[in-house]
Amino acid sequence: MFNSALMTAVETACDLFKADNQVVETFLNGYVCNDIVVRYAKVKVNRKPQKGAPF
């Protein structure tokens, strides 16, 4: 699942078969040292379309 405290969403996908806010792809790994974020992970996140919105 996407965690905004540790990740940055740089791209979104629309896959009806995957959960909403599920990380689909990781472009750059993030790092945490002593509970401090050294580098945020850059990821692609799945977003389901909202009702009534065109694809």
pLDDT band at 54 (very low <50, low <70, confident <90, very high): low
Q: What is the pLDDT of residues 4-52, one digit of tens each?
A: 999 999 999 998 899 999 999 999 999 999 999 999 999 999 998 877 7
Counting the structural domains of the chain, the total is: 1
User: How confident is the model at residue 50, as a pLDDT?
Assistant: 76
Looking at beta carbons, which pairs linking 4-11 to residues 24 or more positions away fall under 8 Å? 5/37, 6/30, 6/32, 6/37, 6/40, 6/41, 7/40, 7/41, 7/42, 7/43, 8/40, 8/41, 8/42, 8/43, 9/43, 9/44, 9/45, 10/42, 10/43, 10/44, 11/44, 11/45
Domain that holds residue 16: 7-46
> Within a domain: residue 25?
yes
> Within a domain: residue 54?
no
